[in-house]
Amino acid sequence: MKITLDKNKKAPVIKPVNGVQNGPVTYDFLIDTTEYFRAAHFPYSRLHDTEMLYGAGDFVNVHCVFPDPDADPDDPRSYNFRCTDEYIKCIYEAGTKVIYRLGESIENNPRFKKYINPPKDPEKWASVCEHIVAHYNEGWADGYGYGIEYWEIWNEPENPPMWTGTKEQFFDLYRITANRLKSRFPSIKVGGYASCGFYACDERITDPFAKSFITYARDFLTYITADETRAPLDFFSWHIYTGSADEVAACALYCREMLDSFGLTGAESILDEWNYNVPDSTGGKFRKSMKAAAFDAEVLVRLQKLPVDVAAYYDAQVKLISYCGLFNEYTAAPEKPYYAFLAFDCVKQYGEPVASCDGDGLYTLASSSRDGFMLMITNSTDEPKTVDIECGAKTARIRTLDRDHDLTETAVIQAPVTLSVGAPSVTLIELT
């Protein structure tokens, strides 16, 4: 494969698709990955399932912040912001912004569905959400001025462990809450509903549950765009767990086409849960593998050319072992996928984006500065590839992420630059 880089061939601004969920601290504030957050410049942390399983009763969820549903929502004494305040403070101190999910954490145990029931009074629930926004953005109740932009209403309501009511009840709750928040805070972005996703956009997927996700989404968009039930949608959020980056691409295209078909051309598409997912019996350890890291890197790069505006990997909280591929669950040290995010950020921080090319199973991302170029090459295939790079550089410093290296320097090459890219791997090349 031949890659030609030219500073005059600019590319679009690199999008903030390298967000995460939660972190950098654990519920007891004893484990802290702030230094790694800062190094990778994670742009967003979405707050959902925050500090599952042990701390979920104290953080973020509406019932945690407003514990007595019969209390007065206008009275600051009705709220318990303490734990969530400290958690969000740690996120901002790490240089990361918050996407705040208004709702509840998943309740997977069928014996306990306590907080995912429809609120008894949707208007009151919306008022509570309004006061939560005011606390973090306007200083209400000894609050803050964070200016949190994205406020997401609920999570996966079409998923039984997340919502026990009907879809009509959820649509009504969304309409009431979204209209109230946008009326009070016109500058924020309100959206949802964190859809389970669009797996069934592939016609080969015939599972009724997967197909129901699409029906739910279309019914929701029909509802909020109808004159009598109209509601604002600044962004539509959705999820995917897969071992195929091609499936991520197909779902991203489907989501954008769906939104546009309802006239919602200005609504952002936010992929705010994704991770490497294949059949496994290791308790999720495969998400820390080199294969997962190469997949993650490919997704980050391919999202640049897909109609997705923001993305957030699920999950960066150390104790959520089966879904946290970024950090070791015992030492909190980085695992292979973290270095994929770090490589992506190196390109993003280096300079102005420039055009590169993809092919032969390789995907690339490049930027330029006065000194040269930074190029990232992802290879999630099972075969090594040979790459020739033309850009006028005299020297190429190679950093490699593979089974034996954690984005460490492995070679310095003089022009002409030809190298073999291992499989699976991520290669970061500084050309000067």
pLDDT tens per residue, range 33-82: 999 999 999 999 999 999 887 777 899 999 999 999 999 999 999 999 99
The percentage of the chain sitting over the pLDDT mark of 90, rounded to a whole number, equals 93
pLDDT in tens, 281-292: 777 899 999 999
DSSP assignment string, 89-110: HHHHHTT-EEEEEES-----ST
273-289 burial by CB neighbour count: b if 16+ within 10 A, else e?
Answer: bbbbbeeeeeebebbbb
Least confident of 86-100, 272-286, 330-344, 386-400: 272-286
- CATH homologous superfamily for the domain 15-349: Glycosidases (3.20.20.80)
DSSP state of 119: P
CB 252 within 8 A of CB 201: no
Mean predicted confidence (pLDDT) in 10-32: 94
CATH class of 4-8+352-431: mainly beta
DSSP state of 395: E
Per-domain residue ranges for the chain? Answer: 4-8+352-431, 15-349
Q: What's the Cα-to-Cα distance from 397 to each of 183, 404, 409, 415, rounded to whole Å?
A: 53, 18, 7, 11
Asked if 4-8+352-431 and 15-349 have one fold, the answer is no
Backbone angles phi and psi of 353, in degrees to 5: -65, 140
pLDDT in tens, 219-255: 999 999 999 999 999 999 999 999 999 999 999 999 9
CB 45 within 8 A of CB 20: yes
Nearest to 20 by CA among 317, 421, 265: 317
